[in-house]
């Protein structure tokens, strides 16, 4: 009789670690943004405390520190270069924070679905939600868009 190969074990995402990674990344971007908008390069202790929680737990830094090389640049140009860099950082970090915040609902749904068992007997099942079509139609077409969609 032929031996059957053991089936590969099903791997599950570590939701806590993924959530921590996203939170950690968000705090690092917040700190970069805070540093970019402050003239004195000070770091808000509250932000640092939040970041320290992840740094201690995972012993990881997610974003590189940028140092400007002013070598060969006349003294009068150093401050201008620094100002240009800070202005670019303010725009970039603000945009990155907006993107992370815009994805929060998607991440929340994904975390809720991760734990869903994908089998009911021998049939594959998927997480689902029901949305009443009437809730998405405009009023002039008989819809009721003021009703909250059920998820």
pLDDT 10s digits, 74-85: 998 999 999 999
- Alpha-carbon span 80 to 70, nearest angstrom: 11
Question: Taking 90 as the threshold, does the pLDDT of residue 151 lie above it?
Answer: no
**Which residues, listed in sequence order, are joined to residue 124 by a DSSP beta bridge?**
119
What interhelical angle do 75-102 and 15-37 show, nearest 10?
A: 140
Cβ burial of 27 (10 Å; 0-12, 13-18, 19+) is buried
For the question of whether the overall pTM of this predicted structure is more than 0.85, the answer is: no
Q: What is the residue-averaged pLDDT of the chain? A: 84
Determine the pLDDT at residue 122: 59
> Can you tell me the mean pLDDT for 42-60?
85
**Reported confidence tier of residue 28, pLDDT bands at 50, 70, 90:** very high
Strand ranges in the chain using DSSP code E only, listed in sequence order: 119-120, 123-124
Per-residue model confidence as pLDDT tens digits over 89-118 = 999 999 999 999 999 999 999 988 887 766
> Can you tell me the mean pLDDT for 127-132?
84
Radius of gyration of the CA atoms of the chain, in A: 24
State the number of CA atoms in the 13 A half-sphere of 82 facing the CB.
16
Which residues, in sequence order, are CB contacts of 65 under 8 Å at separation 6+? Answer: none
Determine the pLDDT at residue 118: 60
CB atoms within 10 A of CB 68: 12
Q: Which residue has the tokens 């402050």?
A: 38
């Amino acid at each position: 009789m032929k031996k059957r190969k053991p089936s590969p074990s099903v791997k599950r995402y570590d939701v806590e670690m993924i959530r921590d990674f996203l939170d950690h990344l968000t705090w690092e971007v917040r700190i970069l943004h805070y540093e970019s908008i402050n003239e004195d390069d000070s770091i808000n202790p509250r932000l640092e405390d939040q970041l320290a929680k992840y740094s201690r737990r995972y012993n990881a830094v997610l974003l590189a520190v940028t140092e400007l090389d002013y070598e060969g640049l006349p003294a009068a140009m150093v401050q201008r270069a620094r100002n240009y860099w800070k202005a670019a950082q303010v725009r970039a970090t603000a945009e990155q924070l907006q993107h992370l915040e815009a994805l929060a609902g998607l991440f929340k749904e994904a975390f809720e679905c991760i734990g869903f068992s994908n089998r009911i007997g021998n049939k594959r099942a998927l997480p689902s939600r029901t949305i009443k079509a009437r809730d998405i139609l405009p009023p002039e077409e008989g819809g009721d868009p003021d009703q909250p969609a059920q998820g």
